[in-house]
């Protein structure tokens, strides 16, 4: 089974489209979708309960530890699948890439497949310019510090073997920086992973919860934490 973790905060406007997109395109996959409500204030939780009430593939979780870190940890704990993919509710990620992820994990002994939006064959649409520039600078810096060729650590959309996620716990990041912590631990502990190009498009509904000014220190903390773990504690698989 494939478990799809989707944290949501104030995403009520896009839930029906999200449901239709996944249900329509994943008919050949044994999957579950875990919608993890992260302290929404716009009725997202109740709308999700009503929308997914009659679907066996969709499960609603209510996060009790505010922040994406808490939501992702809860999703990993409750997931029943052998493989876990993390997606965002804004549908910026390509459903065809999700299917590709699943096939690669089923056909190979990977611990993870790490998508990148910034390879030659990737397609990116409507990426805010300031965010794009900061993203490229930060990801390039991380690749230098950890001396590898991956260039899209901070994007959430990746797939992992559940066993491997449990092995790299605890996951201590509280916000978007958890999406940096997970692949850094996978890479630095020498897990078996593959990098592939993926597509991305900017959201058309709702608003992004990503705040650059608020998250800078958290990303730096995660970077230092993972660097210490790799170079001083020498934690390996």
Residue 80 has pLDDT above 80, yes or no: yes
Question: Are the C-beta atoms of 194 and 169 separated by less than 8 Å?
Answer: no
Min mean pLDDT across 108-122, 145-159, 211-225 is at: 211-225
Residue 232: the pLDDT is: 79
Average pLDDT across the chain, whole number: 92
Residue 42 in any domain: the answer is yes
Retrieve residue 16's tokens: 């029906």
Instruction: Provide the domain count of the chain.
Output: 1
Residue 215: the pLDDT is: 65
Question: Are the C-beta atoms of 114 and 151 separated by less than 8 Å?
Answer: no
Structural domain span for residue 31: 2-231
Residue 236 in any domain: the answer is no
Residue 77 in any domain: the answer is yes
Model-level pTM?
0.93
Q: Residue 56 belongs to a domain with what CATH number?
A: 3.90.550.10
Beta-ladder partners of 59: 34
Residue 86 in any domain: the answer is yes
Q: What single DSSP character describes residue 13?
A: G
Residue 154 in any domain: the answer is yes
Burial state string for 42-68 with b = 16 or more CB within 10 A and e = fewer than 16: eebbebbeebbeeeeebbbbebeeebb
Torsional class of 71: left (φ above 0), alpha (ψ -120 to 50), beta (otherwise) = alpha
Residue 192: the pLDDT is: 97
Residue 35 in any domain: the answer is yes
Retrieve residue 166's tokens: 């449990």
Residue 237 in any domain: the answer is no
Residue 14 has pLDDT above 60, yes or no: yes
Distance in angstroms (rounded) separating the CA atoms of residues 34 and 10? 16
Residue 105 in any domain: the answer is yes
DSSP-assigned letters across all residues of 42-97 = SSHHHHHHHHTTT-SSEEEEE-SS-SHHHHHHHHHHH--SSEEEE--TT--B-HHH
Label residue 233 by pLDDT band (50, 70, 90): confident
């Amino acid at each position: 089974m494939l478990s799809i973790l989707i944290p949501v905060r104030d995403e009520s406007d896009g839930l029906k489209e999200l449901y239709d997109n996944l249900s329509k395109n994943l008919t050949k996959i044994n999957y579950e979708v875990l919608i993890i409500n992260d302290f929404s204030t716009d009725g997202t939780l109740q709308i999700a309960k009503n929308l997914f009430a009659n679907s066996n593939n969709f499960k609603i979780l209510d996060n009790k530890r505010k922040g994406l870190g808490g939501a992702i940890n809860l999703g990993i704990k409750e997931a029943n699948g052998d493989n876990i993919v993390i997606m965002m509710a804004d549908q910026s990620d390509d459903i065809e890439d999700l299917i590709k992820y699943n096939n690669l994990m089923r056909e190979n002994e990977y611990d993870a497949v790490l998508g990148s939006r910034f390879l030659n064959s990737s397609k990116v649409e409507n990426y805010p310019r300031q965010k794009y520039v900061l993203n490229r600078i930060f990801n390039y810096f991380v690749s230098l510090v950890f001396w590898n060729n991956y260039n899209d650590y901070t994007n959430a959309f990746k797939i992992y073997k559940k066993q491997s996620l449990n092995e790299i716990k605890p996951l201590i990041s509280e916000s978007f920086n958890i999406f940096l912590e997970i692949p850094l631990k996978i890479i630095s502990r020498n897990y078996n992973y593959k990098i592939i190009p993926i597509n991305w498009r900017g959201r058309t509904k709702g608003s992004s919860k990503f705040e650059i000014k608020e998250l800078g220190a958290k990303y730096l903390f995660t970077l230092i934490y993972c660097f210490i773990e790799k170079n001083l504690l020498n934690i390996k698989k």
